[in-house]
Structure 1
Amino acid sequence: MKWFDNTALSLVIIGAINWLLVGIFRFDLVAFLFGNLSWMSRIIYTIVGLCGLYLFSLFGRIHSMSES
């Protein structure tokens, strides 16, 4: 499952960089590349959001590893 954790973390970091661009420059890279709320950009936003929700489990796993 480590590969999935790394993939999810990478996608969330890319999503965070996109939000940084939106916040500072008002430039949405996903919308620029795939269209403003096209089906492809909506899929990308959904995948990044699901990866972010999945990474909530990382908190529990880190806590359980530190207690061992």
Structure 2
Amino acid sequence: MFGIRFIRSQPTTHWMQFRGGKLAREGAGLSFLCFAPATTLVAVSVSETSRMPGPVIPGPENDRSNR
């Protein structure tokens, strides 16, 4: 009602709340009230199944061509 929203999430969701183009709040598993017309929300899943391994960068210690 009147643009006020209640946000509640699981602990595996990381939220970022922006007001006026600046980060106002962030964290995992948050519960909060926000004024929808003036707020931008971003939700990112951080569950174990959604994590990607980091890039593998070959270096001299991993180069097998000179063995």
TM-score scaled to structure 1, two decimals?
Answer: 0.22
TM-score scaled to structure 2, two decimals?
Answer: 0.22
Q: Which has the higher strand share?
A: 2
Q: Which has the higher helix share?
A: 1
